[in-house]
Amino acid sequence: MVVPERRTRADVIAAVTIAVVCLVAAAIVWARADATGTDSVTADSPAPTVVAATQLPGTLRERWHAADSASSRALVAGNVVVTGDEGTVSGRDPVTGEQRWWYRRDMPLCGVEAQWGSVIATYRDQRGCSQTTMLDADTGARSIARSSYMDDAIRISGDGTYLLALGTDRLEMWRSDLVRTLEYGYVDAPVNPNTQPRNGCELRSAASSSSRLAVIERCPDDPGARLTVLAPSPKEATAPEEHGSRLLTAPGADSAEVRVIAVSDAKIAVYYPPTPATATGLAQPARIAVHDGTGNEVSSAALAEPWTDRITVTRLGSAIYVFTGKTLIALSAATLQPTWTVRDALGTPASMAGRLLVPVTDGMLAVDFATGTTVARIAVQRSDYRGDPISTAVLGDTVFERRGGRLYALG
C-alpha cells in the first residue's frame, strides 16, 4: 500500500516561495521585452505616392508644424515626412501633417534617421541608446529590431550603404538589416580580448562612405588627436580593420573643433580651426584638409572665416554641402575641395524642380547645382524664427524646415 505524502507547513511555504519567484522572474522578463510600453499604430494602407514638383513656387507659407525634438535634420522617407518627439516617431502626410502612423515607446528617444525607404528609431534603456527599431516609411510597420550596448547619447547618420551610430566611447556600423558590421572603441563584453587597436579613446568625430569610415579620436597614450581610417564592414565585426591611422600634427590639429566633414571611397575631408601666431610660427587660417584613403594629408584649402559649432553636413546624391553657421559650401564629390559658396545662408539645402533651395533671411534662394549662382528668390513666411539653424527637405511640392526643435511645412 502506498502511503500518501504528507506536506508540512515548510513544504507549503517553499512551494509558495518558488511560485512567487517564478512570477517575479516572468514579470521582469516581460517588463524588459521590446513589446512592453510600446504603442504601434500602422497605416491602414501605404501612403499615396507623392509626385515630385516640376516647378518652383513663387512664395512659401506655413501649412502646419509639429514638435520634432529627436531628429537631427528634416526627414522625408518614402511618401511621408517624419517627426520624433518625447518617445514617439510619426509618419505624417506632407500636405496636412496628419499622422498616418506612429510608434511610441516608454523610453527616451535618442534619435531618428531615414534610409533605405525606412525609418530608424533608437531608444535609451539601462544599457544606453541600445534599442533600435526599423519601421516601414509608408506604413509604420515594424520590420527589424536590434539591441546592443551603446553610449547614453549617440548620433546616427547614413551614407546610403551603412548607418553609423556614434558615441564618445564607442561606435557601430549597421547594414540595411540592422546587423552590426563593425564595433569600435569600448567593448562591454568582448568575446575575443585585445581585438581593438587602442583602448580608452574619446571618439570626437566620424563619417563614413561605402568603403571607408574615418574617425577623429583622442587616445590616452597619444600626444594629440588621431585620424583613423577603417573598413566599415570587416571580416569580423568585433575585429576592426585599419586602412591607416595617423597622429595629426598640423597647426590646430589637437583642437576639439577638428572634425571629419566628408568621406568618399578614396578621400577624407577634415576641418581645422584657425590658430594664432606663436613664437615659432605664423597665424594659420581655418582650412579644409583632404586626406587620402589611408589618412595621409594630400591637399588643403584655406577658408575665408572659421566655422561655428553649428557645422552641419548634408548629402544629396553624390553632392556634399556643408553649412558652417554662416555660409553654405559645396564640396566637389571627386576631390572634396570647396567649389562654390552661398554667404549668409541659414542652414542646409534641399533639391526641388532641378534647383537647390538654400534657406536665407526672409526666403529661399534657388541656386544652380554646378555653380551656386542664384536663379530665383522665393519669399518665405516663417513664424517664431529665432535664428536657429535650418535643415531643409522637400517632398512633392511641400518644403520642410526643421528649426528650434520643430518641423515646419511650407507650401
pLDDT band at 27 (very low <50, low <70, confident <90, very high): very low
Amino acid identity for residue 229 in this structure: V
Q: How many CB atoms lie within 10 A of CB 179?
A: 12
- Cβ within 8 Å of residue 274, ≥6 positions away: 252, 283, 284, 285, 286, 306
For 147-179, give the secondary structure using H, E and C: ECCCCCCCEEEECCCCEEEECCCEEEEECCCCC
Residue 278: predicted pLDDT: 80
Residue 97: predicted pLDDT: 98
Q: Is the pLDDT of residue 19 over 50?
A: no
Long-range Cβ contacts of 279-286 (<8 Å, 24+ apart):
281/251, 284/251, 284/252
Amino acid identity for residue 166 in this structure: L
The arithmetic mean of pLDDT across residues 120-129, rounded, is 96
To the nearest whole percent, how much of the chain has pLDDT over 70? 90
- Cβ within 8 Å of residue 6, ≥6 positions away: none
Residue pair 164/113 in contact by the 8 Å Cβ criterion: no
Strands 287-292 and 267-272: antiparallel
The arithmetic mean of pLDDT across residues 264-269, rounded, is 95
Provide φ and ψ at 18, rounded to 5°: -60, -40
Which cell goes with 148?
546592443
Beta bridge partners of 184: 171
CA separation for the pair 163, 115 (Å, rounded): 8
The arithmetic mean of pLDDT across residues 40-65, rounded, is 96
Q: What is the DSSP string of 311-368?
A: -EEEEETTEEEEE-SSEEEEE-TTT--EEEEEET--EE-EEETTEEEEEETTEEEEE-
Query: Could you tell me what percentage of the chain is helix, strand and coil, using 3-state DSSP and rounding each to the nearest 5?
Result: 5, 50, 45
- Cβ within 8 Å of residue 20, ≥6 positions away: none
Residue 361: predicted pLDDT: 95
Q: Is the pLDDT of residue 5 over 70?
A: no
CA 300 from centre of chain: 27
Q: What is the pLDDT of residues 53-102, one digit of tens each?
A: 999 999 999 999 999 999 999 999 999 999 999 999 999 999 999 999 99
Residue 20: predicted pLDDT: 41
Residue 17: predicted pLDDT: 47
pLDDT band at 234 (very low <50, low <70, confident <90, very high): very high
Measured in residues, the chain has a length of 411
Residue 188: predicted pLDDT: 76
Residue 66: predicted pLDDT: 98
Residue pair 129/110 in contact by the 8 Å Cβ criterion: yes
Closest CA to 232 of 150, 321, 166: 166
Residue 30: predicted pLDDT: 39
pLDDT band at 141 (very low <50, low <70, confident <90, very high): very high
Residue 16: predicted pLDDT: 44
Residue 172: predicted pLDDT: 98
Strands 59-60 and 398-403: unpaired
Q: Is the pLDDT of residue 310 over 70?
A: yes
The arithmetic mean of pLDDT across residues 281-298, rounded, is 93
Question: Per residue in 283-297, is it b (16+ CB within 10 Å) or e — as a string?
Answer: ebebbbbbbebebeb
- Cβ within 8 Å of residue 177, ≥6 positions away: 144
Mean pLDDT taken over the chain: 90
Q: Which of 3-7, 65-69, 159-163, 360-364 has the lowest mean pLDDT?
A: 3-7
Residue pair 160/143 in contact by the 8 Å Cβ criterion: no
Residue 8: predicted pLDDT: 56
Q: Is the pLDDT of residue 267 over 80?
A: yes
pLDDT band at 9 (very low <50, low <70, confident <90, very high): low
CA separation for the pair 134, 176 (Å, rounded): 9
Q: Is the pLDDT of residue 26 over 80?
A: no
Report the SS3 class of residue 75: strand
pLDDT band at 33 (very low <50, low <70, confident <90, very high): very low
